[in-house]
Chain A
């Protein structure tokens, strides 16, 4: 049960970071002729940390089962999140 719980929390955090990163991604926005939002410099590094932090936490807690499942799930889900085409006029 704990493996599953660790996995769920870690994945939710990373998916949240993923969605936010997609929203603020400058290149993604430029390509649909939208101006990237003006954000303080720490936002994107912060989001990336939020994306990877669960992995580090899982490894430190020796939750290897949850770590591998997280790594696999995020590889697929991150891709599916990025794959969604941006709305032309957001």
Chain B
């Protein structure tokens, strides 16, 4: 770009390189887990051994919900929320919001219902944050939390991933500013006249092609991290004198008029049927505000319809069951702010177009991992022979493969402990064990080339071992799973086996392009 002169370019390159080198490996972990988290619900179903029922909320629930509402402390009727887990179980949350030590906390009753019999399998009462986590979704949750906060406590984890998002954003922007011949070089395959040039070309080619997405994913990711951690509190301070509850009411669009006159709630099943007919899809969540009062409101969430980016919320009057129309995600009527906020989710998660968009987003995530790692390798190559950087190549390999090994190991922990009800701890333990083994291998194996092979071999064994372990301990085989609408589980088993086979092929049988060019490049100076 013309306004970036030589000195400015130097500074940009320094920022691009140093931020990428210092934080690139952390960014890699966040991006890799993000790519995997695109399939969080598939992972949820797979790790739970399939959903017990896919009917979820599309069945008569009214009598059961009314029964629960009658059993609990009336103050919890302020807010009711019903949804189904990836394992099929239906969860009801009745609660009231309280301020504890300056923080808003939800207190109430959680019940878990069997999706087929609607029998209560679990009930907890107290602060939602204190409930024991669900075992069956432990693996999915572990991966998502690693992506969102690196498992650091709030708000530090969000701060950390927010900063990593900003590093990615600034790397994308400085990448555009630095590479002046981007369009001209879009079809130049990585050259082999020197290893340095090859590393540079590889990094730049991948970076150029996925630039729009690096930008989009980094921007939306930075938004997600900072919106909750600092965005909303600060906006609350300025716009509402620090009153976060008021801000949330404003954003949620809670009607100002209150009417606490007792009034029976309409039949929820009728509302669900009506909403299903209006929208054309089954609701994925039901929420009821002020259950049993004249001002009760029922809101149903529907997934994105065919060809649209966003899901939608539909409101019904509680006592009469009258349809009140679409409810924007924020505010009480349509607005540019609502549209913009609504776009962030689909753009970041890639869940708007079924399996197709998920596969595309997953590939984009892997491409971003590739950019991060090739950037680091470029940095290493520029400093080849410098003793101060000699530790970096093996570290890049260790983190690059080790994250995968640790995640697979977390999966092993999960599957072996699930039958014993200890999946949450075992997932974390499995991850740590996998990470420890990886670090040990990184320290012990003598050369980087050998280390790559060792890790590839390990992954090639671990990935197929995941479905093998799952199947060995699961109740249902492939036949039953296919018959009960759980083809996703079978597909995931197969994908894992193929992934292992592919890694083995790539590492041990595939002829690397570098081998062809070894004559041209020669061995790098020691």
Q: Do chains A and B touch in the complex (CB under 8 A)?
A: yes
A43 within 8 A of B: no
Q: Contact string, A49-90, partner B, CB cutoff 8 A, digits 1/0?
A: 000000000000001111011011101101101111110000
A31 to B356, CA, bound (A): 36
B189 within 8 A of A: yes
Q: How far is the CB of A69 from chain B (nearest CB, A)?
A: 5
Question: Using Cβ atoms and an 8 Å threshold, which residues of chain B touch A79?
Answer: 205-206, 209-210, 367
* Of B179-187, B250-258, B465-473, B488-496, the one touching chain A: B179-187
A42 to B468, CA, bound (A): 57
Whether the Cβ atoms of B209 and A27 lie closer than 8 Å is no
Question: Using Cβ atoms and an 8 Å threshold, which residues of chain B touch A21?
Answer: 186-187
Whether the Cβ atoms of B356 and A83 lie closer than 8 Å is no
A85 to B205, CA, bound (A): 12
A9 within 8 A of B: no
* Of B286-294, B301-309, B395-403, the one touching chain A: B301-309
| A-B contact list, 23 entries, CB within 8 Å | A1-B306, A2-B307, A4-B353, A21-B187, A27-B185, A28-B188, A28-B189, A65-B357, A68-B309, A68-B347, A68-B352, A69-B353, A72-B213, A72-B350, A76-B360, A79-B205, A79-B206, A79-B209, A79-B367, A82-B187, A82-B209, A85-B189, A85-B192
Whether the Cβ atoms of B307 and A65 lie closer than 8 Å is yes
A79 to B361, CA, bound (A): 15
Chain A residues within 8 Å of B, Cβ to Cβ: 1-4, 7, 21-22, 25, 27-28, 31, 63-66, 68-69, 71-73, 75-76, 78-79, 81-86
Question: Using Cβ atoms and an 8 Å threshold, which residues of chain B touch A78?
Answer: 186, 209
Residue of A whose beta carbon sits closest to that of B306: A3
Whether the Cβ atoms of B187 and A72 lie closer than 8 Å is no
Give the residue among A21, A63, A65, A66 with the most B Cβ atoms within 10 A. A65
Give the residue among A27, A66, A75, A86 with the most B Cβ atoms within 10 A. A75
Counting contact residues on chain B (CB < 8 A from A), the size range is: 20 to 34
A53 to B253, CA, bound (A): 41
Question: Using Cβ atoms and an 8 Å threshold, which residues of chain A touch B367?
Answer: 75-76, 79
Whether the Cβ atoms of B189 and A68 lie closer than 8 Å is no
A25-B188, A68-B309 known, 10 other contacts, Cβ within 8 Å: A4-B356, A27-B184, A28-B189, A64-B308, A69-B360, A75-B364, A76-B210, A76-B360, A83-B190, A84-B189
B129 within 8 A of A: no
Residue of B whose beta carbon sits closest to that of A8: B356
Whether the Cβ atoms of B210 and A27 lie closer than 8 Å is no
B175 within 8 A of A: no
Q: How far is the CB of B414 from chain A (nearest CB, A)?
A: 30
Q: How far is the CB of A45 from chain B (nearest CB, A)?
A: 12
Residue of B whose beta carbon sits closest to that of A67: B309
Question: Using Cβ atoms and an 8 Å threshold, which residues of chain A touch B213?
Answer: 71-72, 75
Q: How far is the CB of A24 from chain B (nearest CB, A)?
A: 9
B363 within 8 A of A: yes
Partner of B353, one of A68, A84, A85: A68
A72 to B209, CA, bound (A): 10
Residue of A whose beta carbon sits closest to that of B183: A48
Q: How far is the CB of B367 from chain A (nearest CB, A)?
A: 6
Partner of A7, one of B184, B186, B209, B356: B356
Q: Contact string, B49-75, partner A, CB cutoff 8 A, digits 1/0?
A: 000000000000000000000000000
Partner of B205, one of A64, A72, A83: A83
Taking A68-B346, A84-B189 as contacts, is the C-beta distance between A75 and B209 under 8 angstroms?
yes
A43 to B513, CA, bound (A): 32
